[in-house]
Every structure is written in C-alpha cells, then in structure tokens.
Amino acid sequence: MTNITNREPTLRDVIDKLDNLSGRVDNLSDRMDTLSTRVDNLSDRVDTLSTRMDHLSADSEKFNDRFSNYQQATQWVVQLAFTLIASATITVIVSTVFRR
C-alpha cells in the first residue's frame, strides 16, 4: 500500500507564516521610511542647488554687464587715441605747409 500523508497546516504553521509576513511588512515599512528620508534630503539638496543656480545666474548677468562696459570703454579709449594721433598728424602737416 501507498502511504500518502496529506498534512493540513496547523494553527502553529499559520501563526508562524503570519509572524514571518509581519516581520517582512515591518522591514518594508522601515525601508519606506528610509527612502522617504532620502527623498526629503534629495529634495532639500535640489532646492539648495536651485538657489545656487539663481545666484550664479545673477552673478553671470553682472559679469556680462561689467564686461560690456569694459569693452565699450576700451573702444572709446582706442577711438580717442586714433583721434589724438590724427589731429597731431594734421597739426604737424598744416604747420609745415604754412611755414613755407
């Protein structure tokens, strides 16, 4: 004869499985809390980076304005130098021509 044992789960088996599932849920809950904390930290860091980018953008605009002013002033100095050289040259030529 074949000895087939059809073992039904006992109450102890069910309790053990429920305890195991409860432990897993608690572990998952702890992991979710950890993930939530990490997401909050990342959110804070992104906010900080956003603020820094805003400051960097404002500083970049200030630099661009200063550079533009410097470039314009340099052009004015060069134009003034050429004007002075041209007027001195004309003065020398005119004074030389009229002395004759």
How far apart are alpha carbons 37 and 26 in whole angstroms? 17
pLDDT digits (tens, 9 = 90+) for 69-87: 999 999 999 999 999 999 9
Backbone dihedral region of 91: left (phi > 0), alpha (psi from -120 to 50 degrees) or beta? Answer: alpha
pLDDT digits (tens, 9 = 90+) for 23-42: 898 889 889 999 999 999 99
Opening angle at CA 78, ends 75 and 80, nearest 5: 110
- Joined tokens for residue 71: 């470039």
Mean pLDDT of 77-100: 93
Instruction: Give dist(CA 49, CA 52) in Å, integer.
Output: 5
> 3-state secondary structure string, 6-18?
CCCCCHHHHHHHH
Cβ-based burial of 86 (10 A; exposed 0-12, middle 13-18, buried ≥19): exposed
